Structure 1
């Protein structure tokens, strides 16, 4: 049985490391180019299995070289990919991730099929048997339907809507989830959009917020209670996927009964390890976390 189902994007990432991010009409030197699997849902699923939590992935890829490679990589790590849809309606989504010497990132996306999958691709029995459903960037109607179906069978739900939270129409999905992950920029957008009925901010009223502050740590806002962890000092090399690793650590901890304080400590450690290494997927393990978190 998969304890966690991760739904959302499955991509192929092409990471370009550059000496600096150029100004408009400028130029940068590409120091390396690496292709590997990516996508927020896939990254979280990979992180979970590294932390000994069985994970199932729901998403979609093209029936092409990149799609086959992405699924093969995930399956080799132990992710259950039975519910990933392979389609010939278009190519696997490719993201071009540009990373500078300070670890700062910007992303260029190409059209693809990472939102072709629908909620119906996941059997009701799979949701009922899972401990938790984690939603990431995906079609708003699919996110809302998956959240509704999970709620019906008593499966808890978290949602990391990503940088487009303000313009994708996620209000209905956000109303139905238990936890919402936001970084500082996303929180400013979401929490600033309230009080006008049907807005993103109003939809978050009943959710527990997990706020990611990057190198400044993270916090949980659960009603009137706030829980904070300061994070860990690391030299960031590449922040791609650090938020996904954070989510994997938080979810793995909470489904095993950890307090919010401990879940934040583990989640921050997962994010720090990922930011300190190149690529979107650092190999997470409890052994590796020992160096940052005491008494694992």
Structure 2
């Protein structure tokens, strides 16, 4: 690929309760897929951009489903066959506001990713290489793959994007902080929630603290409060769009997809942020991780036509 998004990581099967309340009282379940990196790849593709996702999948129906779903969404998919099982997550919403996720991924195919799995030419030909803080938490080989990929992209002059995406169930704050800090110091574009940024920078100056580590584009995602950003030294603040929340899961990945899709298309920073806010808002109005990722026409409908590119 030339000029598009390249990303990699673990995508899992997703078992989700269809109703809100304790898991024991769920009346039915749906089965889909979910993974931060592939969610972003789907979001970029839906917005008209080129995207590629790479990851390991097992010799099972879940691995086949992941490949098929991503390809159907327009994502160029490099699904590497592995003898281990494809990971699973089980999610239910204890209330309308809080979601609970259990992971079944220790020793999974996705956790066995290695630096040798990622072709250097894919990194060199990409428009942006996007990674998350989830992949380095999965295993030592995954961590090595992330850092090697980032360094290869940097050497080739390809912008690197990272979404902190801290997962407390995967590693402690103590273990995560130095690794995430090192990744941010290498990146050109950084996405984080305020809590994630506070893992390793001063909470009194989150934007400035992240920017001092090196990235030119720092974006703080803050849910219903919108976002604030420091891009090439200029500060931006964009409020959230008022929408009815159906399912908050996947909003952060949709936000990232909106920003990166517009950046790949050559939009201004303000336009990238406006699209990011709109894609994040659209995501919470539909259930699922990436199934409801919007296209351009749907974003225009959501914003009443006020979406300037």
TM-score by length of 1: 0.88
Match of 2:155 among 136, 149, 152: 152
1:161 corresponds to which residue? 164
Match of 1:188 among 198, 221, 230: 198
Match of 1:174 among 166, 181, 184: 184
Distance 1:100 1:271 in 2: 22
Unmatched tracts of structure 2, length 5 or more:
137-142
Q: Note closer, same or farther for the CA distance 1:202–1:216 as it changes in structure 2 (3 Å cut).
A: closer
SS at structure 2 position matched to 1:41: helix
SS at structure 2 position matched to 1:290: helix
Higher helix share: 2
Alpha carbons 1:10, 1:39 under 8 Å: kept: yes
Equivalent residues in 2 for 1:59-78, closer than 5 Å: 59-78=55-74
Q: Note closer, same or farther for the CA distance 1:258–1:223 as it changes in structure 2 (3 Å cut).
A: closer
Deviation, 1:216, is 1.1
1:221 corresponds to which residue? 230
Deviation, 1:101, is 4.8
Q: Per-residue CA shift, 1:238-262, capped at 9, x if unaligned?
A: 1111111111100011122222221
Q: Per-residue CA shift, 1:153-181, capped at 9, x if unaligned?
A: 11101011312383333333222111111
Q: Is the counterpart of residue 4 in structure 1 residue 5 in structure 2? A: yes
1:105 corresponds to which residue? 99
Root-mean-square deviation over aligned CA pairs: 2.2
Q: Per-residue CA shift, 1:5-61, capped at 9, x if unaligned?
A: 0122211111124433x5xxxx76314411101111111111111111111112222
Deviates more, 1:244-253 or 1:185-194: 185-194
1:253 corresponds to which residue? 262
Deviation, 1:79, is 1.0
SS at structure 1 position matched to 2:154: helix
SS at structure 1 position matched to 2:81: strand
Q: Is the counterpart of residue 95 in structure 1 residue 95 in structure 2? A: no
Alpha carbons 1:104, 1:238 under 8 Å: kept: no
Q: Note closer, same or farther for the CA distance 1:260–1:151 as it changes in structure 2 (3 Å cut).
A: same
Q: Per-residue CA shift, 1:96-142, capped at 9, x if unaligned?
A: 12224524322111122222222322222222211111102212322
1:197 corresponds to which residue? none
SS at structure 1 position matched to 2:243: coil
Q: Is the counterpart of residue 272 in structure 1 residue 281 in structure 2? A: yes
Deviation, 1:263, is 1.0
Q: Note closer, same or farther for the CA distance 1:212–1:49 as it changes in structure 2 (3 Å cut).
A: same
Distance 1:75 1:277 in 2: 21
Distance 1:186 1:143 in 2: 19
Alpha carbons 2:44, 2:50 under 8 Å: kept: yes
Match of 2:213 among 205, 209, 214: 205
SS at structure 1 position matched to 2:44: helix
Unmatched tracts of structure 1, length 5 or more:
195-200
